[in-house]
Amino acid sequence: MKIKNMLLSKGKVLVTGGAGFIGSHQVDALIKSGYKVVVVDDLSTGIKDNLNPKAKFYEADIRDDELDRIFKKEKPKYVFHFAAQININHSVEDPLFDADVNIIGSLNVLENCIEHGVKKIMFSSTGGALYGEAEQIPTTEEYLCNPLLPYAIAKFTVENYLKFYKNHYGLDYGIIRIANAYGPRQNAKCEAGVITVFVETMLDKKQPFIYGDGHQTRDFIFVDDVVSANMMIFESSKSDIYNVGTGRQTTINEIFGFIRDSLGLNIKEKYNQELVGQDVSCLSSEKLKKALNWSPKVEVEEGIKQTVQWFQDKRERK
């Protein structure tokens, strides 16, 4: 086991979407663990300031032929694939574009993995959107996937392609179905995470509005916990799919209150429009806990405090 870890620590990892929210945190963790990291990001939603200076950066689209030249030059042993069209609403408005990026782009990544001898690929999928309005809460990986929106359909499609590439070419994989991730570096303008939207709006001294009655629940997981799960799965020998969530339901009203209290504000909840989307979403991570002894470390109250502090510090730096 020690020999295997030594060999892994000398490997080179290519991270698509490594200037984005979760991707950039993953890059930091990989570098901290001793990996050499190459980042590919077209900066359509990623931000250069997120880039770790120790990572080598290529500004490129995963759909382009340039990707082949990068693989050929860098010869990565491993790939973390985060690059995606991440706006669910835009996937509904333009499913062709969503499929082009999230399916065709992912196939281009996979073809390059085979062509250039990559040993393992880690794929960032979606949790709640994949299971829909599940009757089983918390929802396990065995629950029937019923993706209804183009974004989720594309993620599920790539999951199945990964199984094909494993069976046909022997490419190992790890798939994480992420709950509602949040934390520093999340981009409110393109990712629409409710925590980040509320934080930014309140920092602007404006009133955030809650959709529906605010009693809808989500499974909010701090970005550091997502990254730690990904690292464990990456360094394991098994190709498999894992939910990455907390198993805890938190209402949007509670989220509003946590953020308001963290900022020391005295504002009331205001509601606007009917709820669009799921009423309940919560993932079970028991499979990952049993397989690799992983569990989330950051409670949502503490995670929100850290997130609020990061956004405040960011504004002060400007």
Question: Catalytic annotation on 151?
Answer: yes
In sequence order, the 6+-apart residues with CB closer than 8 A to the CB of 264 are none
Percent of the chain with pLDDT over 90: 86
- Domain membership flag for residue 72: yes
Mean pLDDT (whole number) for 4-23: 80
Mean pLDDT (whole number) for 160-186: 97
Residue 1 has pLDDT above 60, yes or no: no
Domain match, 79 and 150 both:
yes
pLDDT tens across 235-291, in order? 999 999 999 999 999 999 999 999 999 999 999 999 987 766 788 999 999 999 999
State the Cα–Cα distance between residues 254 and 33, nearest whole angstrom. 36
- In order of 139, 178, 190, 244, 264, the CA distances from 306 in angstroms are 27, 20, 21, 20, 14
Model confidence band, residue 6 (pLDDT cutoffs 50, 70, 90) = very low
Mean pLDDT (whole number) for 126-153: 93
Model pLDDT, residue 190: 65
Mean pLDDT (whole number) for 94-119: 97
> Which entry of 78, 131, 143, 151 is annotated as an active-site residue?
151
Which CATH number does the domain housing residue 199 bear?
Answer: 3.90.25.10
Model pLDDT, residue 72: 98
Give the count of domains, the chain: 2
Which CATH number does the domain housing residue 84 bear?
Answer: 3.40.50.720
Domain match, 236 and 312 both:
no
Domain match, 204 and 144 both:
no
- Domain membership flag for residue 23: yes
Name the average pLDDT for the chain.
Answer: 93
Q: Up-side HSE of residue 27: CA atoms within 13 Å toward CB? A: 27
Quote the DSSP letter at residue 280.
Answer: B
Domain match, 276 and 235 both:
no
Asked if residue 38 lies in contact with residue 74, where contact means CB atoms within 8 angstroms, the answer is yes
Domain match, 125 and 254 both:
no
Q: Identity (one letter) of the amino acid at 243?
A: N
- What is the token pair recorded at 244? 């990455």
The domain in which residue 168 lies consists of 2-182+221-245
Pick the closest to residue 29 from 177, 231, 182, 229 (CA basis).
231
Model confidence band, residue 89 (pLDDT cutoffs 50, 70, 90) = confident
- Domain membership flag for residue 293: no
Model pLDDT, residue 10: 61
Domain match, 155 and 255 both:
no
Model pLDDT, residue 191: 59
- Domain membership flag for residue 142: yes
Mean pLDDT (whole number) for 30-45: 96
Domain match, 57 and 178 both:
yes
At residue 240, what are phi and psi to the nearest 5 degrees? -160, 175
Asked if residue 39 lies in contact with residue 3, where contact means CB atoms within 8 angstroms, the answer is no
Mean pLDDT (whole number) for 188-210: 88
Model confidence band, residue 2 (pLDDT cutoffs 50, 70, 90) = very low
Domain match, 307 and 229 both:
no
Domain match, 76 and 95 both:
yes
Count the neighbouring beta carbons within 10 Å of the beta carbon of residue 175.
23
- Domain membership flag for residue 123: yes
Percent of the chain with pLDDT over 70: 95
Model pLDDT, residue 275: 64
Asked if residue 236 lies in contact with residue 292, where contact means CB atoms within 8 angstroms, the answer is yes
Domain match, 141 and 195 both:
no
Residue 189 has pLDDT above 90, yes or no: no
- Domain membership flag for residue 239: yes
Q: Identity (one letter) of the amino acid at 170?
A: G
State the Cα–Cα distance between residues 38 and 79, nearest whole angstrom. 9
- What is the token pair recorded at 191? 């990712």
- Domain membership flag for residue 291: no
Domain match, 55 and 87 both:
yes
- Domain membership flag for residue 71: yes
Domain match, 94 and 228 both:
yes
Model confidence band, residue 173 (pLDDT cutoffs 50, 70, 90) = very high
Residue 97 has pLDDT above 70, yes or no: yes
Write out the E strands in 82-171.
120-126
